[in-house]
Amino acid sequence: MRRLIGMTPEPSLYDSLGGMPALRRLSDAFYERVLADELLAPVFANFSPRHVEHVAVWLAEVFSGPAEFTTSLGGHQSLLHSHLGLGIRDEHRQRWLELMSAAVDDTFPDSPDLHAPLMSYFDWGTAIAQQVSQDPVGTDLGDPGPTPRWGREGLQT
């Protein structure tokens, strides 16, 4: 449910963060750390620079910006398929979250109030990525439904 300030709906996380340029900065800051990390770098052995942009586009949609990941990049099902076969372990997920938390702090130093809603999304999303990653490449995941939307109060229906 949307909380109202007076008569004005609270802006989306996408708008509060600063839109695509800000999400690109976050994605950049995060992957710079990932590729320098001895635990995670091998998991991202097939990393391509497009990955940085695709993650920014995905996050934009999740945080109620443009739905471009759905219209141009294969949507929710494609996102899940990208994680098949990766065999993500607890320690990978934990490190992923640590590096993202540092990237969020660096990218949004003036918005400490946004740290908790962002990290609660990443906590939720990494658990799904880890679960899916145990299935082999090519697994039929069925229809996962639309791209999830995340706001200050968590998962939105």
Our finding on whether 126 is near ligand HEM (CB under 6 A) is: yes
Contacts of 12 (CB under 8 A, 6+ apart): 63, 64, 65, 151
Near ligand HEM in 2-41, by CB under 6 A: 40
- Give the CA distances from residue 17 to residues 11, 27, 39, 92, 122, in Å, rounded to whole numbers and listed in that order: 10, 13, 29, 26, 15
- Give the CA distances from residue 61 to residues 6, 17, 92, 143, in Å, rounded to whole numbers and listed in that order: 26, 13, 25, 18
Our finding on whether 70 is near ligand HEM (CB under 6 A) is: no
Judged by CB under 6 A, which of 8, 42, 50, 136 binds ligand HEM? 50
Residue 76 labelled as part of a binding site: no
Q: CB of 117: closest distance to ligand HEM in angstroms?
A: 13
Footprint of ligand HEM (CB under 6 A): 40, 43-44, 46-48, 50-51, 54-55, 58, 79, 82-83, 86, 88, 92-93, 96, 122, 125-126, 129-130
